[in-house]
Structure 1
Amino acid sequence: MKKILILTGGGDCPGLNAVIRGVAKRARKEKDWEVFGCIEGFNGVYNTPHEFIRLTRSKTAGIHVKGGTILRTTNKSNPINFPVLQPDGTTKFVDRSDELVARLKELKFDAIINIGGDGSQRISKVLCDKGVPIIGVPKTIDNDLSATDMTFGFSTAVQIATDSFDKLVTTAESHNRVIIMEVMGRDAGWIALHSAIAGGAEICLIPEIPYDVKKLVKRIELRYKKGRGFVNIVVAEGAKPKAGTVTATKGEMGSEHVRLGGIAFQLSKELKDAGCKAEIRETVLGHVQRGGSPVAFDRILATLFGVKAFELALEKKFGRMVAFRNNEITSVTLEEATKKPNLVNKNSYLVQAAKGLNISFGD
């Protein structure tokens, strides 16, 4: 029997379970393949004893409707920059990739499917160069991978953000308030931009377009007459003023990244300091955007990604990442997959259309 190992790394995302199920169901048609799942990214390989589960029919039945990942995930198992706790309580990041490659060879897996975002696929590229038969599946609610037209999880995150925004519109109008809704988007403002258009926001702030707070105050003032009016703002967590930096705090122990978040409250203070007279309230959606059942589109896209990933393994086309391009499921090299991020182009039609709808970006 041939063996394939699936793992999920980085942040969780609606649709991960649909990918896992897609791989497992397609593999069962071949009769001579066993499918295993690795617990918490590559930690399942590093741990002693190894933590794997066999993805049988009963284990994967119906999981495509569930959020999260049955394999669990972590952003603290990067084999190239692995966090190791030191005796003095500090964390040292070390390269354990050669150790990982050796363990995978000992376990004699015929293929590895790594489901993850840009960081995970950079790991896939390194492991591929070291001889690991690996295939990538793109995952991110931020939609920030340029090698694929869409990533699963994004549509669900936008739907969650839009549903939340709709609720905030009614309370903002009732109280004559400015309400700021903070959504995810470290470097790319896709969730903010799409939910702003879908919800009818007055202001949308994204990482790619630094804002001028004075322009925002003027925009808000246009919505008020005799103290009455309301404004709804969508802001991505990575948005920043023209004369400032991204709002962030130190990441958790073992994490490679700083922790973004808090821009809603920072923006609220900036607006007040700049003379905004309206009452302001802040709402941070946070991990609500990552949770829950995936919408139909994400279930379909994720399932097709899973089927394609196994078929690439079947054809021994390793070193590639599944992609959705021109309404077709295809694949690209891992080098192309990690070449550049998919950021919002301020000159794109989407941004220009938003401006045509009188949505302000503060620029």
Structure 2
Amino acid sequence: MKRVLVATGGGDCPGLNAVIRAIVKRAEQERDWEVIGSIESFNGILREPTEIRVLDERSVAGIHVQGGTIIGSTNKGGPFAWPIKKTDGTWDYVDRSDEMIRKLQYLGVDAVISIGGDGSQKISQALYEKGLNIIGVPKTIDNDLSATDFTFGFQTAVQIATDAVDKLVTTAASHNRVLVLEVMGRFAGWIALHAAIGGGAEVCLIPEIPYDLNVVLERLKSRYSRGKGNAIVVVAEGAKSKDGDVVAEESSEVGYKNVRLGGIAHKISYDLKKAGFEADMRETVLGHLQRGGIPSAYDRILAAQFGVKAFEMVLEGRFGEMVAYRHPDIISVPLTDAIGKPNFVDPSCDLVRTARGLGISFGD
């Protein structure tokens, strides 16, 4: 019996369970393959005792409609930076990648499928360079991997953000307010851009187009006459002004390497009021609401395609590669291509031009 290990790393994302289910259902057709899952990415392999579970058709039945991941996820530590608490109470990080590979060999694992975003796939590439038979599956609500047209989870996040805009429109109109909606995306503005167009926002602020506060101020003032009016501002968490910085702070969480973004919505409101904007303003931060819940039909289908393709790549021995969507095909690309260049919004792309054509201001 051959074994393939599945791991889900990074932030949770709608559609992870649909990928796991697709891998298992495709593997069941081969008769001589067993699928096991590592709990919380590779942590399940590195821990003592080992935390893994067998994944069969019974354990994955119906999970494609569930959010999250049945084998857990983590965005802290990892095989190359495992946190160790020292005697003085401080933390250090050690490389346990060789130990993990030996343990996988001991467990009889013939191949690994790593489902994750940019950080997870960098780990995948490093493990492949050490000789591990590994295949990547792209996952991120931010849609910031350039090797694939879309990542599963993104469309669900966009729908949640757009629903939020729809709801905020009515309360903004009822109170003659400006409502500022902060959405996720880190340094990519795709969620904000799609939600602004889909929801009909007046202003959209994204990391790729630094904004001028005075331009935003004048646009919002134009929405008011004799004190009456309303407007919706959609802002990506990584947005910044032309003369400012991203609103972020270093994380105090052990093993978490990224800065924690958030707070730009409140900063915009504060800056606008300081600049003389008199209308009422309120802020809404969607936060992790965008990561949870039932995946959309689009994301379930894309995730299923990715899962089936990933296992077929195992059968073909296409290690060191990642599944990707290039309309209309599901293909594979080298992991080096997948992590080589982020997928940021091009300020001159068609979607930005569409938004401008609808009268949406980017504050530039």
Relative to the length of structure 1, the TM-score reads 0.98
Matched residues in 2 for 1:163 and 1:282: separation? 16
Counterpart secondary structure, 1:131: coil
1:134-180 deviation digits (Å, cap 9, x = unpaired): 00000000000000000000000000000111000000011000100
Amino acid in structure 2 at the alignment position of 1:20: I
**Where do 1:267-282 residues align within 5 Å?**
267-282=268-283
Say yes or no: does 1:348 pair with 2:357: no
1:179 matched to which residue of 2?
Answer: 179
1:200 corresponds to which residue?
200
Task: After TM superposition, give the deviation of residue 37 of structure 1 in Å.
Answer: 0.5
Instruction: Name the CA distance, whole Å, in 1 between partners of 2:86 and 2:161.
Output: 40
Task: Give the distance between the partners of 2:6 and 2:236, measured in 1 at CA.
Answer: 31
CA distance in 2, matches of 1:269, 1:86: 42
Query: What are the equivalent positions in structure 2 for 1:41-52 lying under 5 Å apart?
Result: 41-52=41-52
One-letter identity of the residue aligned with 2:296 = V
Unmatched 5+ stretches in structure 2 = none
Q: Report how many residues are paired.
A: 363
Paired amino acid for 1:12: D
Structure 2 distance, partners of 1:346, 1:237, is 17
CA–CA distance in 2 between the matches of 1:281 and 1:297? Answer: 32
Q: Aligned-pair distance for 1:242?
A: 1.1
In 1, distance between residues paired with 2:268 and 2:198?
22
Match status 1:295 vs 2:296: yes
Per-residue deviation, residues 53-90 of structure 1 (Å, max 9, x unmatched): 00022100000000000011000132223332233333
Q: Secondary structure at the match of 2:225?
A: coil
Distance 1:212 1:93 in 2: 42
Give 1:93 shift.
2.9
Q: Where does structure 1 differ by over 3 angstroms across 4 or more consecutive aligned residues?
A: none
Query: Counterparts of 1:162 and 1:5 in 2: how far apart (Å)?
Result: 36
CA contact (8 A) 2:76 2:254 kept: no
Cross-structure match for 1:54: 54
Paired amino acid for 1:335: T
Please say which of residues 100-109 and 14-23 is displaced more in the overlay: 100-109
Q: What is the CA–CA distance in structure 2 between the aligned matches of 1:213 and 1:87, rounded to whole Å?
A: 49
Give the counterpart letter for 1:96 in structure 2: R
Aligned-residue offset at 1:117: 0.2
Gap runs ≥5 in structure 1: none
Distance in 1 between residues matched to 2:3 and 2:137, nearest whole Å: 18
The residue matched to 2:224 in structure 1 has which SS? coil
Identity of aligned residues (%): 62
State the partner residue of 1:234: 234
- Give the letter aligned to residue 40 of structure 2: E
* Equivalent AA in structure 1 for residue 260 of structure 2: R
Aligned partners of 1:329, 1:159: CA distance in 2, in Å? 23
TM-score, scaled to structure 2? 0.98
Q: Which residue of 2 aligns with 1:75?
A: 75
Q: Map 1:330-349 to 2 at 5 A.
A: 330-349=331-350
Q: Does the Cα contact within 8 Å between 2:77 and 2:256 map onto a contact in 1?
A: no
Query: 1:244 is paired with a residue of what secondary structure?
Result: coil
Letter of the 1:30 counterpart: E
